[in-house]
Structure 1
Amino acid sequence: MLDLALFGFFAILMLLGLRRPFIWVLAYLYVDIVAPQKIGWSILPSLPVSLIAFLAAFGGWLLLDNKKGGCFTFRQALILVLLLYCGMTTIMADFPEAAQTKWSWVWKALLFAIFLPLTLRTRLRLEAAALFMVLSAGSIIISGGIKTLLSGGGYGTLAALVQENSGLYEGSTLSTVAIAIIPLTIWVARNGTIFPASRWTMGFALALCFAALLIPIGTQTRTGLLCIGLLAALTLRSVKYKFVYMGLGALALLAAIPFLPASYTERMSTISNHQADQSASTRLAVWQWTVDYAKENPLGGGFDAFLGNSFTYSTRVVVDEGGSREVRTEQITEEARAYHSAYFEMLGEQGWPGLFLWLWLQGLGLWQMERIRRRYRTSDDPQEKSWRGLATALQHGQLIYLLGALFIGIAYQPFVFMLIGLQIGLMTLVSRRITARKEEDRKERLASRRAANAGMSGDPDSAPA
């Protein structure tokens, strides 16, 4: 039954796209986020669902969709340069087979990020894309939240929809995305026109946000806890009564602590002492190895270049001997350990040029969203207030991602590049609105000038006899 339901939903999206080709773009968003072919067991797993949606989205836009209003921006050019550079390093990769495997999905994520803004010509399309992203990610988040409430979860054991530990279903990645999407969820509920703001939409949004906050508990990831802290700090920018908000937040935290699983609080306690935690010690050692590797290979080693690493580090362990506890230092040797950071992932795989391009792309997004926020800070126009709210949501989501990316290798995470696509689409719409407003002002000034010139030339009826 589940397999038929998934196939039926996908088939309906494909059929609706025959009338409105943009729906195929939404279908690809759904497929790339949820991966229904991994959830089903019969029909969808036997079909190249992702490829079908990918080709339909591009083909529908190229052959059937209206191109009016679309434009190619500087950030899209940056993504294109990054795509070409990744292709070059893949050809010269240290581990060609592993690099080809990662390249097989990275190029689609980057290409779709370039393509998506071209289709977001109107506010309705931008809102629809944001809605599909929220609901698609929400289907995973809600499942994980329910399982957390029922079982408490566990590190590496919380299975949301599928029993898999990769992509968006990986615990730390899901925790980061779940918290990053909260601002966008609230914006869709407050400003949506597809599902207008009401008690029902806001109630669903709040429930989804609650489920998102449960994900870091269910996955027991320290990254998720840090992301929640950053979200709380960023929310201070928007609330009117900041001290009341801080007080309520502190009370909510104190009230929640007794209900947290003991395994969760024990794992979170290792944040303050990395030497007592082997995972944190491994991260630091990998990062040091990556910096040394980049000194010798400034152009990077291609995807999965970490497979060539080998290093030794010291960690502290507590040993029980006859009822007494003793702290000892052990030497641990590791090989082929992943980067555990998007920043070092870019540095090791794409070298300094790739890291620079990636940071430039991220920094431009933060700056452009801040420009929109400041431009419409005092505006009373509903449309402009909505744009400001969306810019804030996308900026906060990106900041949360950049924090989580410090500790997870998610430099090419497709969902994040979709967020970047939304940022580019929003900036394009706002720029078009600003240009139209300037053109209107220019025409008004020209009309006023002509009227003034006509008055100065004199009126024959009013001239003295």
Structure 2
Amino acid sequence: MAGCLAALRRPWIGIMLWTWLSIMNPHRYTWGIAYSAPLAAMAAASVLLGLLMTKDRESPFKASPVTWLVVFMVWMTISWLAGIDPSGDYEQWKKVMKIDFFIILSLMLLHSKQHIFALMWVCAGSLALLGVKGGIFTLTSGGNFRVWGPPGSFIGDNNEFALALVIAIPLLRFMQLQLQNRWARHGMTMAMALCAAAALGSQSRGALLAISAMTLYFWWHGKNKITVGIVLLSVAVPLIMFMPESWTARMSTIGTYQEDASAMGRISAWWSAWNSAFHYPFGVGFDGARPELFALYSPYGANPLAAHSIYFQVLGNHGFGGLFLFLGTFIATWRSAGWLRRCEPLTPEAQWCRDLGTFCQVSIAGFAVGGAFLSLSYFDLPYNILVMVVLTRVWVEKKSWLTEPIYPLGWKTIPGLAARTKEG
């Protein structure tokens, strides 16, 4: 309630509240009325009211990823209306549109370095809390039980939760680089290790591939490959050796997918999505796991299963046009992050922009690889990374360090938690 009231005057606070509720789903760990309380609706209402009253807003069309996203939203709406069951798909369409609409609102209301850092802390910090909890559970249980995400959320399933943690780990590393206190940096190292343990403890094969690809990309682009490699191995090897034989047996099925019913079910879903896309130019709508579609378009029978792939999920739901726009959105985000990574820092105050570009690219790489085996196309976090990258690029292009007051780096960049200082 306090956050909603604050958002009436400063609607960017409402954006943070909405993001926290959407990613962490803290109310799902309660009971009774609180479990199903319309907290997100309250946050949304406060942001919209604050938007009407504030003058501190800008056009959301700040870079090419935003244009790609908006066109993708329009295409998804056409796909929903032209799909097999628009009335049945309405709730999913509304859910996806709300997420993307708040991404657009974020681009309107956030613009300063402090806003960017606040969004980073909310996104990565929310998942870090869940990851630390899951990592401790994995270690204390010997890795014999799977780790699950918030019930009833996008990442409630063990596989989706694991991928969310994989995407968050590079963001935590970026935040660690901004911390000045030695013990805070050590604490962040522990948080990243526990998030990795939780991702492994989920027993998700897609997450294992994602974290492997992400680690390789991070090592390849690291400045000191020997030191970084030693650190990564010193964390990865003990974690893998700690996991029980049941975990090893499950991971080994990656190479023998033909003998695994779950893997073959996914391949059946991929065939159904691929073949149906030729017959439905705008896609079938938000539900591609239909027996009639599998009977017509899958060579493995009519047993429907979710696509378990961001690519085939979008392809089946929205056709080749939708897949093109989905890929274009994140390729444009990747290129903008690469621009940040390659740009020469004109001042020490802008050094963090290069770090943000680097680690956002690492997160996108994890999403691209792990998402090939998981249905997480509409999850908030990758789109929040788009917001961070776009806002940071605009911040650099405007040379905003010349006009903004100087704040200490790290969590103290959030307005209200640090006193402003001026350059002498």
Amino acid of the residue matched to residue 131 of structure 2?
I
The offset of 1:334, in angstroms, is 4.5
Rounded to whole Å, the distance in 1 between the matches of 2:80 and 2:58 is 36
SS at match of 2:399: helix
Aligned counterpart for 1:208 among listed residues 191, 195, 210: 191
Count of aligned residue pairs for this structure pair: 402
Shift of 1:374: 1.1
Verify: 1:303 aligned to 2:286, yes or no.
yes
RMSD between superposed Cα atoms in Å: 2.7
Q: Is 1:408 the counterpart of 2:374 in the alignment?
A: yes
1:142 maps to 132
| Distance in 2 of aligned mates of 1:68 and 1:158 | 41
Residue 442 of structure 1 corresponds to none
Establish whether residue 431 from structure 1 lines up as the match of residue 415 from structure 2. no
Amino acid of the structure 2 residue aligned with 1:79: L
Aligned 8 A contact 1:183 1:397 in 2: yes
More strand by share: 1
Alpha-carbon distance between aligned partners in 1 of 2:144 and 2:315, rounded to the nearest angstrom:
31
Q: How has the CA–CA distance of structure 1 residues 197 and 88 changed in structure 2, closer, same or farther, with 3 Å as cutoff?
A: same
Residue identity matched to 1:219: S
Alignment match, 2:306? 338
Give 1:421's aligned residue: 387
User: Which of residues 171, 181, 193 in structure 2 aligns to 1:184?
Assistant: 171
* Secondary structure at the counterpart of residue 335 of structure 1: coil
Distance in 1 between the 2:325 and 2:58 partners? 29
- Distance of 1:433 and 1:200 partners within structure 2: 32
Q: Give 1:402's aligned amino acid.
A: A
How many Å apart are 1:313 and its aligned residue?
12
- Equivalents in 2 of 1:127, 1:230: separation in Å? 26
Q: Is the 8 A contact 2:11 2:109 kept in 1?
A: no
Offset of 1:13 from its aligned partner?
2.1
> Which residue of the other structure, out of 264, 270, 286, is the alignment partner of 2:269?
286
Corresponding residue to 2:14 among 4, 8, 24? 24
Match of 1:263 in 2: 246
Question: Aligned equivalents of 1:229 and 1:80: distance in 2?
Answer: 32
In the aligned structure 2, how far is the partner of 1:165 from the partner of 1:265?
Answer: 29
CA distance in 1, matches of 2:97, 2:296: 34
* Partner secondary structure for residue 331 of structure 2: helix
Is 1:74 matched with 2:64? yes
Shift of 1:148: 1.2
What's the % identity of the aligned pairs?
Answer: 24
Matched, 1:198 2:181: yes
Contact between 2:12 and 2:106, CA under 8 Å: does it hold in 1? no
Deviation at 1:36, TM superposition (A): 2.7
The correspondence of residues 366-385 of structure 1 with structure 2, limited to 5 A, is: 366-376=334-344, 379=345, 381-385=347-351
CA positional deviation for 1:95: 2.7
- Compare 199-208 and 267-276 and name the one that shifted more: 199-208
- Alpha-carbon distance in 1 for matches of 2:119, 2:234: 36
TM-superposed CA distance for 1:417, in Å, is: 1.3
Equivalent residue, structure 2, for 1:361: 329
Q: Which runs of 5+ in 2 are unaligned?
A: 404-424
Which residue identity lines up with residue 234 of structure 1 in the other structure? Y
TM-score by length of 2: 0.87
Distance 1:169 1:116, change over 3 A: same
Counterpart pick for 1:392 among 358, 363, 374: 358
- Cα distance, 1:267–1:68 mapped onto 2, change above 3 Å: closer
Q: Is the 8 A contact 1:345 1:409 kept in 2?
A: yes
State how 1:442-461 maps to structure 2 within 5 Å: none
Query: How much has 1:70 moved relative to structure 2?
Result: 6.6
Residue 34 in structure 1 maps to residue 34 in structure 2:
no
Alignment partners' CA distance in 2, 1:174 and 1:159: 6
